[in-house]
Chain A
Amino acid sequence: MEAARSRLDIATENLANVSTDGFSRHDARGFLTALGVRVTAVASPTHGALRRTGRPDDLAIVGDGSFRVRDARGRVEHTRAGAFSRDRDGHLRDGADRLLLDAHGRPIVVRGDRSIQARQVGLPAGSTLESGALETSSVDQISEMIDVLTAQRSYEGAEKIVAAIDGTRQKSADDVARLK
């Protein structure tokens, strides 16, 4: 039952982010342990499709890699969400007001119509940058819906088993009492 619950948590979390650009879905991975089945979330390696936005400062990564962004407290994080906008100093900031960093960890400054190159933000070789586009969420709504249903059914199934075990235990307890 615990496994089915985790599976539902993962599927609903994915579903909630079906419109979150740059979101990478989590796969539910089940494995057997001494205490039964355990399900954990693993970041899925699939990338979302590209969507044209008409905003020149939006960046999408084609291939692997991620953007490095720094928040106001100096914490550096990795993200594939490329919805940036230019601030008045020419820095690129994302929706959470984090600065886009270049390959050397310095904030990127854009001037005029100059576009940003893949190596400038430290993307691995083979990856390219598409400006004016965003990577959509990699969540596939249909398979997540199936996961929600599966989780619900296996929860019901597990409940039946618990009830059956409970029933046999109750019966044996009753029988023992009758023997006395």
Chain B
Amino acid sequence: MSILVIAVGVFGLITADNLIKKIMCLAVIENTIILGFIRAGFREGGAAPILISPEIITVDPIPHAIMLTAIVIGVCFNALAVACIVRLHQKTGTVQISEIHEL
């Protein structure tokens, strides 16, 4: 199921003419992959990874811990990308790819 959402994101990334839309599609792709990873650590009948009692059966906490890092990296990438696009807009007056010659 996450493959469908990723395919939509990829389609948007390839065909978008506006740079901001490309960054949004990249965000969609990355966040869907993160959700897919968390799903890979799922166990049937498992509870959230908090040890409320010592015998509780929980899902795998390692994907959760790792994807915290990945989410923050995604946010930082989006901030940097938007900063560069704003500068590009200041220089060329547009964010459409069809109008920027060097892209």
Mutual binders A and B: no
B residues within 8 Å of A by Cβ? Answer: none
A residues within 8 Å of B by Cβ? Answer: none
